[in-house]
């Protein structure tokens, strides 16, 4: 249940982070300038608010990624190769005493 909630937070924060980064004004203006005055009205004239929001979103994204990694690492500690023998080597089974010559 918690893993599902973390996956939702992870995906939503990734999408929001992509959009917010594209809205930021860079050297070339970015996607925020393509929106014209609407981008400035959304986040205000100063860039301090959008930079802070980007930072918080990045922290949520990285934090959820780390927690998901920890949960999946403990759940997936076994491997398929733990159940299978070495490739190319036949596994010996106990000899059937009735088929001995």
Phi-psi region of 42 (alpha: psi -120 to 50; beta: other; left: phi over 0): alpha
What one-character DSSP code corresponds to residue 84?
S
Residue 56 pLDDT grade (very low, low, confident, very high; cuts 50, 70, 90): very high
Cα–Cα distances in Å, from 92 out to 53, 67, 86, 96?
A: 61, 42, 12, 12
Q: Which of 15-24, 29-38, 47-56 has the highest mean pLDDT?
A: 15-24
Give residue 9's domain range. 2-76
pLDDT digits (tens, 9 = 90+) for 59-79: 999 999 999 999 888 766 666
Whether the predicted pLDDT of 29 surpasses 80: no
> Does a structural domain hold residue 10?
yes
> Does a structural domain hold residue 82?
no
| pLDDT attached to residue 93 | 57
> Does a structural domain hold residue 44?
yes
> Does a structural domain hold residue 86?
no
**Helix 48-75 vs helix 2-23: crossing angle, to nearest 10:** 150
Q: Which among 17, 15, 11 has a CA at the least distance from the CA of 51?
A: 17
> 50 or 16: whose pLDDT is higher?
16
> Does a structural domain hold residue 99?
no
Q: What is the DSSP string of 15-45?
A: HHHHHHHHHS--TT-HHHHHTTHHHHHHH-S
Least confident of 2-16, 33-47, 58-72: 33-47
Q: Please tell me the total count of domains within the chain.
A: 1
């Amino acid at each position: 249940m918690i893993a599902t909630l973390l996956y939702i937070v992870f995906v939503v924060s990734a999408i929001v982070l992509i959009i917010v980064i594209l809205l930021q004004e860079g050297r070339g203006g970015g996607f925020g300038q393509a929106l014209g005055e609407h981008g400035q009205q959304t986040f205000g004239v100063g860039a301090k608010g959008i930079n802070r929001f980007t930072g918080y979103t990045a922290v949520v994204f990285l934090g959820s990624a780390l927690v998901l990694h920890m949960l999946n690492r403990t759940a997936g500690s076994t491997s398929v190769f733990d159940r299978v023998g070495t490739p190319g080597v036949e596994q010996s089974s106990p000899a059937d005493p009735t088929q001995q010559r």
